[in-house]
Structure 1
Amino acid sequence: MSLIYSFMILALLFASGSMFGWLLELFYRRFKPANKGRIWINPGFLNGPCLPLYGFGLTALYLMALLERFIPIDDPASRKAVLFVVMAAAMTIIELIAGELFIVRRHIKLWDYSELRFNYKGIICPRFSFYWAILGAGYYFFIHPRILSGLEWFSHNLLFSFVIGFFYGILTIDLVRSFSLTAKIKAFAAENRMIIRYDELKKHIRYEAKKRCEKYRFLNSMHSERQLIEELRTYMEKQIEQAKNGKLSDMIAFIKKEL
């Protein structure tokens, strides 16, 4: 297998994982118990249907499945069990790195496990590590056996170059626009000592748009007819009220005597 071919395979896996992961998270956020209003929330920090975290995840699962034969365990069942634990650990590490980078660099929390037991900073927890193990097993048994032949066909098809080029072209534009947007959010959050939960901010913008009878853009959910700074100010006021009432909020080291 040539280096270029291997690179193209990984590029396709990353694109497929990013889009499938976005779809998975879209329905998870729609039906999770905390979303009592059953609101559709565009997951992630990008505008379009793409979650790079899952792209990295699927690529990692593919590579780890190929390395199964190097696990020094003779019993097939035990070897697979170890593989699934390693897959879960790898996905958790990817989740941890992504979560830490956005919290430290952007003052943004893209997901929040704060209400789950034994969580770390609300970005990883044992329950979701278990889910990653199940996802890894599902990939191993149902996807990996068929993925090689599918990738072989697709990578030699003329449509392949078009799809990959189109995906990464759109992704580049989306990344530039999204990082520009999050830079503004970061500046506001840092100034006001906040770690902003992105999903909550999206819900707030949607609610405010509905209250003003304005159009809400699902795939461009951070944009509204009001200036972003105005949306952030009203969002902060809501978070301060929640902090006063002892509820989960985005305020860092909230101290009652400062109010």
Structure 2
Amino acid sequence: MNIFLIILFLFFAGSIIGWSLEVLWRHFFSKNNPEHKWINPGFLVGPYLPLYGFSLTILFLLSFIDVSFIENKILQKAILFVCMALSITVFEYIAGLIFIKGMKIKLWDYSRCWGNIQGIICPLYTFFWYILSTVYYFFIHPRVLNWLYWFTNHLTFCLVVGFFYGVFAVDVFYSLNIMKRIRKFAKENGLVVRLENLQQHIRRVNDENKEKVHFWLSTKSEYIDIKGAVLKLKEKVMSEKKDSTENTKKH
């Protein structure tokens, strides 16, 4: 079976499933979304998160690791799942660091979580990756080969996946251009922009002014521009720091 087709399918499926999980998580459980609004969790416009696409591919490849040298069957699986969770955590750290150092943008923030490293990774989410690894191994992986057999023998579905990658490529190009504009402003002002906070601030501006605000910071005149959005966010952070300092002095 063509390994290239397998990877394409897994990335496609993982990106969409991961996006769906993140949307539900941020709506119902995220502390950064107290209003429980529906949020697009990624930096792309469409309903997909590449991080989960790569993660599913990693799980697929690691599931073939031979751990038979370990006699205890339960221990075999436990060690395999630890390897999966740690591998995805390392990948998550590298991806997060690339955006912070290269684009001056923080796509997610675990700073409030115990044991976090630079707000990019933390033990809690590594545990979540461990749980997802077990779910994948026992409930998804046994069926993957059947899915792929069906996939490679149905031209229609191949065309659907091909269409996905066409749209995905355009989306990446469009979104990265916007990220470059944010990077330019952040670099000039010595900032690292937290994308989730910026999105949240723009939603508030939208609610307060009852005006249409482009979710992805279009620079068209009828929308709020990047510079204005980031400046407002910066002013808010500075104001909160000032209030916190004044309260500390009072006490």
In the alignment, what sits opposite 1:38? 36
In the alignment, what sits opposite 1:141? 138
Tell me by how many angstroms 1:7 deviates.
0.3
In the alignment, what sits opposite 2:188? 191
Which ranges of 4 or more aligned residues in structure 1 deviate by more than 6 Å? none
Q: Is the alpha carbon distance of 1:164 and 1:33 closer, same or farther for their aligned partners in structure 2, counting shifts above 3 Å?
A: closer
Q: Say if 2:118 is the partner of 1:121.
A: yes
Task: Answer yes or no: is the 8 Å Cα contact 1:206–1:221 preserved in 2.
Answer: no
Q: Say if 2:47 is the partner of 1:49.
A: yes
Tell me by how many angstroms 1:246 deviates.
4.3
In the alignment, what sits opposite 1:27? 24
In the alignment, what sits opposite 1:61? 59
Q: Is the alpha carbon distance of 1:33 and 1:42 closer, same or farther for their aligned partners in structure 2, counting shifts above 3 Å?
A: closer
In structure 1, how many angstroms separate the alpha carbons of the residues matched to 2:16 and 2:112? 27
In the alignment, what sits opposite 1:210? 207
Amino acid at match of 1:89: L
In structure 1, how many angstroms separate the alpha carbons of the residues matched to 2:244 and 2:134? 40
In structure 2, how many angstroms separate the alpha carbons of the residues matched to 1:33 and 1:189? 26
Task: Answer yes or no: is the 8 Å Cα contact 1:205–1:221 preserved in 2.
Answer: no
SS at match of 2:114: coil
Amino acid at match of 1:53: L
Q: Say if 2:224 is the partner of 1:229.
A: no
Tell me by how many angstroms 1:70 deviates.
4.8
Tell me by how many angstroms 1:147 deviates.
1.3
Tell me by how many angstroms 1:244 deviates.
2.6
Higher-RCO chain (CA-CA 8 Å, sequence separation at least 6): 1
Tell me by how many angstroms 1:236 deviates.
1.6
36-45 vs 7-16, greater mean Cα deviation = 36-45
Amino acid at match of 2:126: S
- Superposed counterparts of 1:236-247, under 5 Å: 236-246=234-244
Tell me by how many angstroms 1:32 deviates.
2.1
Task: Answer yes or no: is the 8 Å Cα contact 1:17–1:54 preserved in 2.
Answer: yes
In structure 2, how many angstroms separate the alpha carbons of the residues matched to 1:48 and 1:214? 23
Tell me by how many angstroms 1:163 deviates.
1.3
Sequence identity, in percent?
42
Deviations 1:118-151 (A, max 9, x none): 1000010011111100100010011111111111
Task: Answer yes or no: is the 8 Å Cα contact 1:210–1:216 preserved in 2.
Answer: no
CA RMSD, Structure 1 to Structure 2 (Å): 1.6
Tell me by how many angstroms 1:221 deviates.
3.9
Q: Say if 2:91 is the partner of 1:94.
A: yes
Q: Say if 2:36 is the partner of 1:17.
A: no
In structure 1, how many angstroms separate the alpha carbons of the residues matched to 2:113 and 2:50? 24
Question: Which of 131, 147, 151 lines up with 1:150 in the alignment?
Answer: 147
Figure out how many residues of one structure are paired with residues of the other and give that number: 241
Deviations 1:40-87 (A, max 9, x none): 1111111111100000000000111122x3552132211111100000
Task: Answer yes or no: is the 8 Å Cα contact 2:105–2:195 preserved in 1.
Answer: yes
Amino acid at match of 1:194: L
Task: Answer yes or no: is the 8 Å Cα contact 2:213–2:224 preserved in 1.
Answer: no
In structure 1, how many angstroms separate the alpha carbons of the residues matched to 2:213 and 2:73? 52
What TM-score do you get using the length of structure 2 for normalisation? Answer: 0.91
Tell me by how many angstroms 1:228 deviates.
2.1
Give 5+ residue unaligned stretches, structure 2.
246-251
Amino acid at match of 1:236: K
In structure 2, how many angstroms separate the alpha carbons of the residues matched to 1:22 and 1:48? 9
What TM-score do you get using the length of structure 1 for normalisation? Answer: 0.88
Amino acid at match of 1:241: S
236-245 vs 186-195, greater mean Cα deviation = 236-245
Question: Which of 72, 75, 82 lines up with 1:75 in the alignment?
Answer: 72
Task: Answer yes or no: is the 8 Å Cα contact 1:41–1:199 preserved in 2.
Answer: no
